[in-house]
Structure 1
Amino acid sequence: MQNALGHLSIGEGHGALPPATTFVLTGGNLSMKVKNNIHWVGKIDWELRKFHGDEYSTHKGSSYNPYLIKEEKVVLIDTVWGPFAQEFVENLRREIDLDQIDYIVACHAENDHSGALPELMRHIPDVPIYCSKNCAKFLKGLYHQDWNFQVVKSGDRLSLGSKELVFIEAPMLHWPDTMFVYLTGDAVLFSNDGFGQHYASAHMFNDLVDQADLFQECLKYYANILTPFSPMVTRKIKEILDMNLPLEMICTSHGIIWRDNPSQIVEKYLQWADNYQENQISILYDTMWESTRVMAEQIAAGIREVDEEVTVKLYNLAKSDKNDVITEIFRSKAILMGSPTLNNGILVSVAGLLEEIKGLKFKGKKAGAFGSYGWSGEAVKNISQRLTDSGFELVDEGLRLTWSPDEEGKKTCREYGKSFVQSL
């Protein structure tokens, strides 16, 4: 079947899906049959609330998804995060004699995928690890071990008997070492961080979970992690499409597995990578004595007076989750950012978010700045400069008001909101 993506051939799937996820209890953890001889042997992390240190919020937990393929040759694709290393190895031993593992594939060196490697390699130190050149370098840097690395590149193949693994390098999605792996015969793409999300579920398949939750977490994951690499996302997807591979399932390294119409998440990635925006304006601010908050609310009222169709969302940055806010920026065609002036500068929550979005390299979005002040008023100028440095197109010079807005000041804010939306 050829779909709207072009050459990518997607299995129908509908009507042929198992009615539920089938788990097997293995020593307190769960293993799961994914398809034929492919088994998920990972860890569902229900308690996870922060990831990448404290950089990424995971309100719905996550999972670490290694896969064990039992063909004529047995291969393990990735492991789990370090805190679960011993548990992972113990459960893996209940699934298979470790000495029966012929190969290990490391798609990505980051700790959440490779953390259990040191513990696993204590038991099978000579098993070859197939990975990209950068991955071998990074694993040596992380764990200071010279394991039996077998460096592969795009197009290389590894025979498992009647089926083969095809290696597809995917640098900067989202590390320089990242690699996808495709299993012939079963038409399964092991995509590592690509197409994944931080989402803990006992069901594990996309057709069995809440679709609103699923796509919200996918969007958040893309917005916060993959946005800077959007050009590479587009190129890599088109490269895979041109390989004309049949594809019936995408096995991610976090969250759910795409078995029902896996092309839907590929199509979403192509949309999100193309300077994505919705008809939304996000107003982001912090406030000391409520003056800047009042400005934000009045600006929002002015926008709505002119355009009833546009979605307007307000976030106090001192009280909002930054990753959720970044997701809303990703959705927005324009943002307004406000802060009172403090020590000739801006409040720390505003400064922190500006630093985050500079690194994310948003494209095709417009912006403006606002804020109240007492006697100097540099905040608006500082915000405007940082927005420009981050790639946003400034609509105007921004809006400054002294002290707390009176009725005339509130009217000025509403007029500013009208002018802002009319200029988009």
Structure 2
Amino acid sequence: MNPIELSKNVYWVGAIDWMTRDFHGYSTDRGTTYNAYLIIDEKVTLIDTVKEGYRRELMNRIRNIIDPKKIDYLVVNHVEMDHSGVLPDVIREVEPEKVICSKMGHKALMKHFHEADWPYHVVTPGEEMSLGEKTLSFVETRMLHWPDSMFTYLKEDQILFSSDAFGEHLASSERFDDEVNQDVLMYEATKYYANILTLYSPLVKKLIKQVQDMHLPIKMIAPDHGVIWRKNPGKILEAYSRWCVNEGNGKALVIYDSMWHSTEMMAKSIAAGLLDKGINYKLVNLQVNHRSNVMCDVLEASAIILGCPTLNNGMLPRMAGFLMYMRGLRPTNKIGAAFGSFGWSGEAVKLMNTAMKEMNFTLVHKGLKVQYVPEHGHLEECVELGHAVGQALLDMKEGKDIEAVI
């Protein structure tokens, strides 16, 4: 139950959730953390709390530093329940002088907890608040990823408490970026962005510019999930700068589901066509890949090729569910194409094309469907579909305009 010191009189006092494996349909195979931070000064300040069920862990860590009743200020960067679930209990125990939140945070707290008598202190963007030797300032970050979201900046220590931005779902006994496996760290950071923040990429872009324009020196980024970026906070800032403009890596994803292997045969032939053009690809079978892991690949891919047979005049449930999930996140700047087998109707290809057009993908093929089991000639057509997507990717790399076929 030991707290971890970030800098002098600034501590991590959060909770580690080793068990959770699902977060709103996002697979959290490595668990997560609920980070909270304690600043010891003339005004003792707690930044964020934890999910319900982890109050004792939070309070025990605080008690290892100070009597919780000595906490004066409680900052709520984000009202979502994994960070505010124990807030009513903490407020009853601590009886803080101020509950600090954004304007939208105040509204959200009232809607969640219906407590009009809490000592709310609503801050405005750029407002500063002295704690004694240390100073807090506040950056409003609406819709990253809730309306109430804000950052809190500790001026003297140059620490940015970044709420749900720059985090990962990663349970670990280590608290800092330089203490964990870097491949695991960046995979989980990528997956986090892909499944939570892709939809808000235009706002992320504006926020990064806003922070740059403020010329805030940042030695450390302390998010509400995962590890704290102390060695190289610029690494995650650079990654967000790339992800928020949907800058693809030039690769193609062939994402498919199959009933009796016909669509799978088509997928492999399309992949062969991509390889003919020198395009790196990944085959993703939805039967064995969770949608949130697939979105991690979607974030960085440049082309998405969807394959599904027709079932009951529609798509297989896994593809239908994946498309609903992906459409909600709205990845952009992708080349697209669709294919699939069918028995007697064949609507799946049209439905997949429609979904990609709604996401503003550039469709470079009208789509390919084959009745029952593909013959050699059909598989050659699949290779040609791969060629079409591959050529579009090569043209994109050269800066040429890509025209949609449909």
Q: TM-score, normalised by structure 1?
A: 0.90
- Letter of the 2:5 partner, please give it: K
1:62-85 CA-to-partner distances (Å, cap 9, x unmatched) read 111100000121000000111212
Q: Which amino acid aligns with 1:58?
A: T
CA distance in 2, matches of 1:157, 1:385: 49
CA contact (8 A) 1:88 1:116 kept: no
- 1:42 and 2:14 are equivalent in the alignment: yes
Alignment of 1:79-98 (within 5 A): 79-98=49-68
Q: Decide whether the 8 Å contact of 2:70 with 2:94 is kept in 1.
A: no
The yes-or-no answer on 1:175 pairing with 2:146 is: yes
Structure 2 distance, partners of 1:35, 1:153, is: 26
1:379 to 342, 348, 362: 348
Q: Does the 8 A contact of 2:6 with 2:12 survive in 1?
A: yes
SS at match of 1:247: coil
**8 Å Cα contact 2:3/2:64 also seen in 1:** no
For residues 255-287 of structure 1, the C-alpha deviation after alignment (integer angstroms, 9 at most, x for no partner) is: 111111212211111111112211210011111
In structure 1, the residue matched to 2:82 is: 112
CA distance in 1, matches of 2:392, 2:187: 30
Trace 1:355-394 onto structure 2 (pairs within 5 A): 355-394=324-363
1:142 is displaced (CA, Å) by 1.6
Matched residues, number? 392
Greater alpha carbon shift after TM alignment, 139-148 vs 218-227:
139-148
Q: Does 1:199 align with 2:170?
A: yes
Q: Percent identity?
A: 44
Shift of 1:296: 0.6
User: Following the alignment from structure 2 to structure 1, what is the Cα–Cα distance between the partners of residues 352 and 216?
Assistant: 48
Q: CA deviation at 1:318?
A: 2.6
Which stretches in structure 1 are left out of the alignment for 5+ residues?
1-28
Q: Secondary structure at the match of 2:45?
A: strand
Amino acid corresponding to residue 343 of structure 1 in structure 2 = N
Counterpart CA distance in 2 for 1:366 and 1:197 is 28
Aligned-residue Cα RMSD (Å) equals: 1.4
Q: Find the residue that maps to 1:283 and give its secondary structure.
A: strand
Kept after mapping to 2: 8 A contact 1:86/1:119: no
Match of 2:402 in 1: none
The 5 Å alignment of 1:115-130 reads 115-130=85-100
Which aligned pairs between 1:274-293 and structure 2 lie closer than 5 A? 274-293=245-264
Deviation at 1:86, TM superposition (A): 3.5
* 1:303-326 per-position Cα deviation (integer Å, ceiling 9, x unaligned): 11222xx22111111321111101
Q: How does 1:20-419 map to 2 (within 5 A)?
A: 29-52=1-24, 55-146=25-116, 147-307=118-278, 310-419=279-388
Q: CA deviation at 1:126?
A: 4.8
- Secondary structure, aligned partner of 1:83: coil
Structure 2: how far apart are the matches of 1:284 and 1:365?
14
Q: Which amino acid aligns with 1:51?
A: F
Contact 1:41 1:66 in 2 (8 A): yes
How many Å separate the matches in 2 of 1:338 and 1:261? 40
Once the two structures are TM-superposed, the CA of residue 398 in structure 1 deviates from its matched residue by: 0.5
Distance in 1 between the 2:95 and 2:315 partners? 54
Q: What secondary structure sits across from 1:82 in the alignment?
A: coil
In structure 2, stretches of 5+ residues that fail to align are 394-406
Name the CA distance, whole Å, in 1 between partners of 2:88 and 2:47: 15
